[in-house]
Structure formats: structure tokens, C-alpha cells
Structure 1
Amino acid sequence: MARNTHHDGPGPSQRQLRVGELIRRTLSSVLSRGDVHDPELNQMSITVGEVRTSPDLKVATVYVMPLGGGAREEAIQALKRNKGELRRALMKDMTLKYAPDLRFVIDETFDRMDETRDMLARAEVRRDVEKDAEE
């Protein structure tokens, strides 16, 4: 029977969470030290917000955001250009059997937080919240 690799269960395993956090910290450190031989990437300040790994740990989706939220596409392109060097840095600093394939995506968490803040500031929403609080 073929194993379903799509994970609809209760969430990632402890191992996935542990490895994801280790990858996040390692990549954050490599990027902040400017250890990559790409002047364009080293000039960017990129936050690594989260890393999610596949159940087999062979793919790591890295959620990033450039400082200030600008130059998103440029940051993703610079990270993709340097994927091989970043994978080598991971292998040097970590004790995994294989370096995971890195996939870089923009971390939309900050945008969603801003949208939620804006929504809660709207007069009709404040009125509804205050009405519920009085009841």
C-alpha cells in the first residue's frame, strides 16, 4: 500500500518541529553573519520566521521576510540563487543525514497581523465588540 505523504493529521511530529527550528536558527545565523558569498544577499536583512519540514525531512519550506517588508521578490530570488551554499552551511552546522531541499516563501504572518489590526480598528467592528462585552 502506498503511503500518503500529504499530512492531514494532527500536525507535524516533534522531530519535524525540532529539525525545523534548528534549520531556522542556523539559517538566521548564516544570513546575519553574511556567510554567503553574494554581496546582494549579504546587504539584505532577512528574518527567517519559520521553517516547516516534510515528514521525511527532505524538504524544508523556509518562511522569510526582508526587513521592512520591501524587496520581497529580490530577497526570494537572492535566496534561491544561493540555495546550494545555504544547504552546505546547514550540513556543516547540523548533523542531518541529508541536507533538505530549501524552498523559500514570503512569510505572510506579519501582513495578516496588520490586516487583523486594521479590521479591529474599524468603527463598526469596535461597536460590535463593545456591544458583545456589555451583554
Structure 2
Amino acid sequence: MAKYRAGRINEEMKKEISAIIMNGLKDPRITAMITITDVEVTSDLRYAKVYASIFGTKEQKEESLEGLKSSAGYIRREVGKKIQMRYVPELIIVVDDTIDRGMHIDELIRKANEQKDQ
């Protein structure tokens, strides 16, 4: 599969999964704000790793992740309706904590700059 095709499929799936989570899921466990940061589809289009960034308390994050994982079949079916592909990839949902780590590093830099100025 050409590299540009994989990128297009990744972006299209990311867009559709985000829309489905925002508009179509009615799971009461999903209370935190969820952002789909990336989707990586394997070259044979059988599996897709969905990276989700979840904002909220620790309990909200755990409940929302459980809700997302249990809704993976529904999300997969809806993606299959919207995107015409021979195989609709099985979704593997992974928590993406890069934003949290970035905020932590930013906080450390800010504290170091404050101490340097004193």
C-alpha cells in the first residue's frame, strides 16, 4: 500500500471516529472529554490503533476508556457505513497521554524559570 494512501485512510478514519464519538455514542460511562489524536491502520487494513486523549479525573478517564472499548464494535460498524473499504479494521483503542506529559513538562519549565528569576 502506498504511503500516501495509508495517510489518507488514517486521517479519514480519525475524522469519522471523532464524529461518531461526539454525536453517536450514548454510553453513560463516557463523561470525560475525548479527543482522537491519531489512527494507525496496518498495511493489510485488518487492525487500526486508535489513540484517544481523555480529559477528566482519574475515575472519569477509566470509565470513559471502558465505555470506548465496549463501544468499539458499534464504532467499527458506523465507520464501515461511512467509508467504503473492503475490510473495516478492528479497532484497538489506546490511551494517548502525550498532552498530559507535555503539560507536566511545561509546568516544570515554568517552575524552573520562576526559580531562576528569584
Q: Return the TM-score normalized by structure 1.
A: 0.71
Q: 1:42 to 1:78 in 2, by over 3 A?
A: closer
What is the aligned-residue RMSD (CA, Å)? Answer: 2.6
Aligned residues: 115
Residue type of the partner of 1:67? F
Q: 1:105-124 alignment to 2 at 5 Å?
A: 105-123=94-112
Q: Which residue of 1 aligns with 2:53?
A: 65
Matched, 1:13 2:9: no
Determine which structure has greater relative contact order: mean sequence separation of CA pairs < 8 Å that are 6+ residues apart, divided by chain length: 2
Structure 1, unaligned runs of 5 or more = 1-11, 128-135
Q: Which residue of 1 aligns with 2:14?
A: 24
Q: 1:42 to 1:122 in 2, by over 3 A?
A: closer
Q: 1:1-135 alignment to 2 at 5 Å?
A: 13-33=3-23, 35-36=24-25, 38-41=26-29, 43-68=31-56, 70=58, 71-123=60-112
Contact 1:31 1:42 (C-alpha < 8 Å) held by counterparts: no
Question: Cα deviations across residues 47-82 of structure 1 (Å, max 9, x unaligned)?
Answer: 111111112221111111233364222122111111
Contact 1:64 1:104 (C-alpha < 8 Å) held by counterparts: yes
Contact 1:50 1:64 (C-alpha < 8 Å) held by counterparts: yes
Q: Which residue of 2 aligns with 1:6?
A: none
Structure 2, unaligned runs of 5 or more = none
Greater strand share, 1 or 2? Answer: 2
Q: Return the TM-score normalized by structure 2.
A: 0.80
